[in-house]
């Protein structure tokens, strides 16, 4: 009884499956002979792993022939292969250039850092020198302020004009006027002109 029920269920399933396949296929591919139906049905069962209804594959059945390309298809494929090769070469060239640019950028960044460091060192040296010069100038101003006006005038006349002007500018006005009055009229006028011009 169980065998009969199994057979009936299998038969119903196969009929439903067959009808579904027939409805899904286009009209020109519907098998018309019993042999074609058996073949299609057996192949379908084999595809779905239903061994009880699967047909044996034909040993003499020919395998699919490889697709032969037309001349225009061959030309298109050749052009595509050439274009792909060119694109690959271009990508390699772009990668190489990108690497060169990255190296160059790193080199420039390193040089900029070195230049910034050098600039900072130069600025520090200039500041240090300026501070030293100011300290020396203050010492010179203190010395000339304590001197007799006539001796200070003779000594300043022998110095570089810019240094003399800087010293006189730093001195108190009363002391500077005494020193200038001890100089000749022409020389004192020239120094006063420099003092008023110099910021």
Could you tell me if 77 and 122 lie in one domain? yes
- Residue 56 lies inside a defined structural domain of this protein: no
Q: What is d(CA 174, CA 199) in angstroms, rounded to the nearest whole number?
A: 20
pTM for the model: 0.42
pLDDT for position 157: 84
- Residue 132 lies inside a defined structural domain of this protein: no
- The H or E element that residue 186 is part of is helix 185-197
The answer to whether the beta carbons of residues 173 and 196 sit under 8 Å apart is: no
- With a CB cutoff of 8 Å and minimum separation 6, the contacts of 154 are 182
Q: What is d(CA 13, CA 45) in angstroms, rounded to the nearest whole number?
A: 11
> pLDDT per residue over 7-33, tens digit each?
566 666 666 666 665 555 555 456 566
- Residue 19 lies inside a defined structural domain of this protein: yes
Q: What is d(CA 11, CA 3) in angstroms, rounded to the nearest whole number?
A: 12
Structure tokens at 164: 């003399």
Q: What is d(CA 197, CA 32) in angstroms, rounded to the nearest whole number?
A: 120
- Residue 84 lies inside a defined structural domain of this protein: yes
Domain holding 175, by residue range, is: 147-199
- Residue 160 lies inside a defined structural domain of this protein: yes
**How many domains, the chain?**
3
SS3 assignment, position 109:
helix
Regions of the chain where pLDDT drops below 70: 1-34, 40-41, 44-67, 198-199
> pLDDT per residue over 106-124, tens digit each?
999 999 999 999 999 999 9
- Residue 139 lies inside a defined structural domain of this protein: no
Could you tell me if 42 and 81 lie in one domain? no
130-167 core/surface letters (b: 16 or more CB in 10 A; e: else): eeeeeeeeeebbeebbeeebeebbeebeeeeeeebbbb
Could you tell me if 120 and 151 lie in one domain? no
- Residue 140 lies inside a defined structural domain of this protein: no
- Residue 131 lies inside a defined structural domain of this protein: no
Could you tell me if 37 and 79 lie in one domain? no
């Amino acid at each position: 009884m169980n065998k009969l029920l199994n057979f009936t269920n299998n038969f119903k399933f196969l009929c439903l499956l067959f009808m579904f396949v027939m409805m899904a296929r286009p009209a020109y591919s519907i098998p018309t002979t019993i042999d074609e139906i058996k073949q299609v049905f057996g192949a379908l069962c084999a595809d779905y792993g239903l061994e009880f209804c699967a047909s044996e594959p034909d040993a003499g059945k020919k395998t699919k022939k490889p697709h032969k390309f037309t001349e225009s298809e061959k030309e298109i494929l050749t052009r595509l292969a050439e274009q792909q090769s060119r694109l690959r070469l271009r990508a390699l060239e772009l990668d190489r250039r990108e690497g060169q640019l990255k190296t160059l950028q790193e080199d420039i960044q390193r040089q900029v850092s070195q230049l910034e460091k050098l600039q900072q060192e130069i600025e520090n040296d200039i500041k240090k020198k300026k501070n030293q010069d100011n300290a020396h100038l203050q010492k010179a101003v203190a010395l000339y302020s304590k001197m007799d006006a006539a001796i200070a005038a003779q000594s300043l006349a022998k110095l570089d004009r810019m240094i003399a002007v800087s010293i006189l500018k730093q001195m108190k006005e009363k002391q500077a006027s005494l020193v200038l009055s001890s100089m000749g009229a022409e020389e004192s006028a020239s120094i006063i002109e420099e003092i008023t011009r110099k910021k």
